[in-house]
Structure 1
Amino acid sequence: MTPRPDRLSRLLALVPYFATRDGIALDQAARDLGISQTQLTKDLELLFVCGLPGYFPHQLIDLQFEHGFVDVIFTAGMDRPLRLTSAEASTMLVALQALLDLPGAVDQEAARRAIAKIEAAVGSSDTAVRMPAGSTDSDNPTFASIREAVTARRALRIRYYSATRDSVSDRIVDPIGLQTMDNHTYLEAWCRMSEGVRLFRFDRVDEAEKLDEPASPPEEAKAHPQRAVLSENPDLPSVQIEIDPGELWVLDYYLIEPLESLETRVDPQAPVRARLVYGSPEWLTRFLLGFGGRVRVISDSAIADSVISSAAAARARYT
């Protein structure tokens, strides 16, 4: 089976990575690369049968990792990472700049160092990022504690303000990862109090303390991160919508929760009422406009008015 592009890119970078970190522990390497130790072992087993044309034993990449540490015996010439093209470097610089603009998404000092290295590598004559000296994540230890817990896979004790409930609560959560959406950074985690996956917006976490115990979210919770983004986030608004029978296919492509049983409804030709959680009013307006009135909001007059006015403005442009 041909490796997926993301895995292929990782495989190409593994040999130079280990060549400069000879003897690194397998679990540490997995953390650095952001993958599981099981996946890293599979990658190394695949590299073991790759090498120079001819593919005789002495021409194959040789990495020893049986005892929990990785030693490089033969690199087959893959001693340095591939160089970035100008387009690739520009894409990375734009992405890093976008991450810098999101509160808490990354270690800002590390991101700025990465930007400087990319600019130096491609010979940029201007700097992509100009930020005040000394402006680092040390200014916000809460954000740093959250990221450290995610990286170290440790449970977190947080004090969190829920805007929808207008209340503050203390929770212990098991981090799964970080999400960015609508210009905000969220901690995706299994909430032990709610017994479900929740998203916690960084700027609403008043306090965060990394605990010594390992994070242990249920396996099924880690398998569906997008569901948490749209349906399990306590801070995102929701609306009730009506879906005409001819558009019920949206239930298979969007995380929309029907409010009635599709199998037992009396009139198959009647519209279906459902609940939709959305990230921003602008997105919801665009979503509804795409259906030309066949999917419509019924619980929020402001959104309905926005759809009507946007549709009228679009029609006016053709006259």
Structure 2
Amino acid sequence: MAGAQPSRLNRLLAMVPYFQARRGISIEQAARELGVTQAQLTKDLELLFVCGLPGYFPDDLIELEFSEGFVNVGFTAGMDRPLRLTTVEASTLLVALRALVETPGVVDVTAARRAIAKIEEAVGATAVPGLSGAGTEAGASAGENPTFTTVREAVRRGRALRLDYYSASRDSVTDRVVDPIRLQVMDQHTYLEAWCRMAEGVRLFRFDRIDTADELDEPSTPPAEAESSSQSVLVPENPDLPAVELEIDPDHLWILDYYPVEPLTSVADRDPQEPVRAHMVYGSPEWLTRFLLGFGGAVRVVDDRKVAAAVVESAASARERYR
């Protein structure tokens, strides 16, 4: 093991069986073999000392003795045995991984499919009811959209991007240079949150509306206030969360570009003088009321009388304060 530089998690997972097989080894020798400093190894041992089984009572925690410069393992808490996934654990992991694969741009699809295949192989695909073979069948040969890969890698590497982006409100494609901040998943879509140099503000760019993306040879440098604030005003997709139908005036269709709001009809085919109907998921009535008030009546909820009444009441209360 000399010269190896494993990650801390891998090192911690290997430490208990390592020390159990080398009872009484000195911290100096162990640090040399594990490829870390003695100070780092001591920190790892201190962390292991408070790890163990759920319940985390003294009899559940890993027991180590290392105060005299030598390490001895008293109780392993099961970490000396290879880990095995239960059927429930495997099912949960497989469902989560497949959900990530189906959401564009969130993860490296090829890597996620490899993980799915390994889990299925480890537990046996037939051990997971209803999921047998799903990781290697539909879409297994299809790779990730190269544009999504470029955007995700630019976020990871902290690089600026040049995008050809379809604007739903203008029914046109625009060329933009943006400074990525983070990725967000909302209402079954992945968005790039970035500082748009053309608009001079933080904007959300939906992945399936990005026609092309090119990583630039310059760092992503959004203003400090842009990084500290967040456009994640809408909560991630959740079947338990409410949704409303909105009516948006023609001069406020820019909302379709800046928020994850889905038009219910084609924007291009509509009468230019008519409002647009749209769908939006929201987290709480209080937040939705504040959101609607900010547009001064140009955005209205049309299918929820309680929210509409709350907006009217809040607006009247605010107006009364100026009398």
| TM bin (shorter chain) | 0.5 to 0.7
Shift, 1:234, TM fit: 2.2
Residue 77 and residue 172 in structure 1: after superposition, are their counterparts in 2 closer, same or farther (change >3 A)? farther
Equivalence for 1:187: 192
Give me the whole-angstrom Cα distance separating, in 2, the residues matched to 1:17 and 1:253.
50
Match in the other structure for 1:256: 291
Which letter does structure 2 place at the counterpart of 1:234? Answer: Y
Asked if the contact 1:93–1:128 (Cα under 8 Å) also holds between the matched residues in 2, the reply is no
Query: How far does the alpha carbon of each residue in 1:44-101 deviate from its partner, in whole angstroms, 9 at most, with x for none?
Result: 996463234355344789xxxxxxxxxxxxx999689854443232122112222222
Change (3 A) 1:190 1:48: farther
Q: Report if the CA contact (8 A) 1:199-1:228 is conserved.
A: no
Distance in 1 (CA, whole Å) between partners of 2:14 and 2:299 is: 44
User: CA shift at 1:108, angstroms?
Assistant: 1.9
Q: Residue 164 of structure 2 aligns to a residue in which SS?
A: strand
User: Contact conserved, 1:256 with 1:276, CA < 8 A, in 2?
Assistant: no
Which of structures 1 and 2 has the bigger CA Rg?
2
How has the CA–CA distance of structure 1 residues 294 and 79 changed in structure 2, closer, same or farther, with 3 Å as cutoff?
Answer: farther
Offset at 1:161? 1.1
* Count of residues in Structure 1 that have an aligned counterpart in Structure 2: 225
Q: Is the 8 A contact 2:187 2:260 kept in 1?
A: no
> Aligned AA for 1:50?
L
**CA shift for structure 1 position 223:** 3.5
Q: 1:235 to 1:12 in 2, by over 3 A?
A: same
Q: How does 1:108-123 map to 2 (within 5 A)?
A: 108-123=109-124
Residue in 1 that maps onto 2:134: 128
Verify the 8 A CA contact 2:176 2:197 in the aligned structure 1: yes
Report how far residue 220 of structure 1 moved. 3.5
TM-score, length basis structure 2: 0.54
Confirm or deny: 8 A CA contact 2:193 2:231 kept in the other structure: no
Q: 1:234 aligns with which of 250, 258, 261?
A: 258
Is the Cα contact below 8 Å between 1:162 and 1:234 reproduced in 2?
A: no
Q: 2:222 aligns with which of 214, 217, 221?
A: 217
Q: Does 1:207 align with 2:219?
A: no
Contact 1:227 1:255 in 2 (8 A): no
Pick the aligned partner of 1:143 from 125, 145, 148.
Answer: 148
Aligned partner of 2:117: which letter?
A
CA RMSD, Structure 1 to Structure 2 (Å)? 4.6
- Structure 1, gaps ≥5 residues long: 1-9, 25-42, 62-74, 241-248, 261-272, 298-319
The residue type equivalent to 1:131 in the other structure is: A
The alpha-carbon deviation at position 15 of structure 1 amounts to 2.9
The verdict on how the C-alpha distance between 1:90 and 1:238 changes in structure 2, with shifts beyond 3 A counting, is: closer
- Percent of aligned positions with the same letter in both sequences? 47
Per-residue displacement from partner, 1:252-274 (whole Å, max 9, x unpaired)?
687626349xxxxxxxxxxxx67
Q: Which amino acid aligns with 2:46?
A: V
Instruction: Determine the structure 2 residue equivalent to 1:170.
Output: 175
Q: Match of 1:256, SS? A: helix
CA distance in 2, matches of 1:157, 1:292: 40
Q: Deviation of residue 113 (structure 1)?
A: 0.7
* 3-state SS, counterpart of residue 194 of structure 1: coil
> Letter of the aligned partner of 1:112 in structure 2?
R
Query: What is the distance in 2 between the residues matched to 1:54 and 1:161?
Result: 59
CA distance in 2, matches of 1:44, 1:294: 62
Gaps of 5+ in 2: 1-6, 17-33, 50-62, 127-131, 236-254, 264-274, 276-283, 313-323
CA contact (8 A) 2:293 2:311 kept: no
